Structure 1
Amino acid sequence: MRELLMFPRALACLKNAVKLSGLLLLTSAPYIAAQPQYEELSSYQLMGKIVELGAAVEKTPLFGSYLQELMNRSNAQQAPAMYYFAWYRNEICKMMKKQSGVTRDAAICSQALADLKVVAENQKNVGLLEFPAAMSLLGEMYRDGIGTNASYLLAADWFVKSSKQYYTSGNRERAIRSLENAIKLAPEHPSIKELQSKLLN
């Protein structure tokens, strides 16, 4: 089973790419037009290409094209693309917060949060690897106050939901990781003991 968010040099990509992609995201400037052959790639593969190309010192036109294709799919409400584009935006938001300390009201941050909720709250997405991953990322955003006011209780709720979904899908390692995040934030959460008995005994 492939691991989500384990793209090589992901943060290096985003730090290097933010001058291009961050500017485009923040200003809504037009991207380089996506090419038809990109439609053959899954959203996961597109994200991998974006990370790979974004890590390069010199950006190629393909970088903007891949990003455009991912954004197009996200705008078309395709759940995997919505997740990956939200993840990408969240990384930019984390850098914004580190630099200025404020991201709660930034449009790309609140949109990332909204898109993740669409993915995480739609039962049609059960079975997709991005389904519990979206829940986990929502937990991170509520914990860190990105795109919203910080709330440890809401963050713990999303981490618990993520843990349950990972457990159901057989990904015990990810289930434990999400559970541990929930415990740190709200150790008295009513669902934690049940999950602990399943995962930690």
Structure 2
Amino acid sequence: MNTVVKPEIVVTLSNKERMMPTYDSEYVLMRDRDFSVILDNVNLSIILAIINGYDRFAQIMKKTGLQRGKLSRHLRRLLGTGWVIKSGSRYLPSGHIYVVYEVQDINGQIMLTLSTNKGAFIDPIYGLLVINGEPLSNYCASCPLRQTCVNNVKSLARKYGAELRGGEPSEAYVELFRELIRRDLIRKLRSGWRLIIKR
């Protein structure tokens, strides 16, 4: 599996089918500071192990090479921030699409604002994409995996029925994430989807 890690974007590339949760938690809304936990290299390596099917404690420990105590601390952090859930002895991603929100109190009205430039999604075939702001337009120019990302983002766009205009893969990934939020999440909320808030 190839992984591209840059300050504003993390992309994993693989053609291997990944383990996905079987419950209906497609979207996970989280605070910015909870979202930022994934930007830690250790937490990222744990999530990558989990989405590649290493979902039991001993399997994750072997895959990541982390010591028991350190892995326990990081798994507790990922559980506490909502990135993973525990189902029996298995650790699973808590959803497919992670969206950062901000809460504001404006004249007694509570406003929930969803970020379209911070979030993540996990596709069972194409991997993990983490967006942490607007990537620079020249991000992909010198990357040796540029063509792989081009193919990956085109396949994702076809799969999700999105038209992308971004010239570089990094721009197209952000565009795809925005499309998933605007088209799908907003439509689902307007059609009666419920938000269940839990810690």
TM value normalised by structure 1: 0.33
**Higher RCO structure (Cα 8 Å, ≥6 apart):** 2
TM value normalised by structure 2: 0.33
Higher share in strand: 2
